[in-house]
Amino acid sequence: MLILTSMLTITQALVDQIVAHTRKDHPDEACGVVAGPAGSDRPERFIPMLNAAMSPTFYEFDSGDLLKLYREMDDRDEEPVVIYHSHTATEAYPSRTDISYANEPGAHYVLVSTADTDGAGEFQFRSFRIVEGEVTEEEVEIVEAY
Q: What confidence tens digit (pLDDT) does each residue in 16-62 have?
A: 999 999 999 999 999 999 999 999 999 999 999 999 999 999 999 99
* Residue 82, domain member (yes or no): yes
* Residue 45, domain member (yes or no): yes
- Residue range(s) defining the domain that contains residue 138: 7-143
* Residue 56, domain member (yes or no): yes
* Residue 1, domain member (yes or no): no
108-113 and 124-131 strand pairing: antiparallel
Q: What is the pTM of this model?
A: 0.92
* Residue 2, domain member (yes or no): no
How many independent structural domains does the chain possess? 1
* Residue 134, domain member (yes or no): yes
Q: Looking at residue 83, which CATH number applies to its domain?
A: 3.40.140.10
Of residues 88, 85, 113, the one with CA closest to residue 99: 85
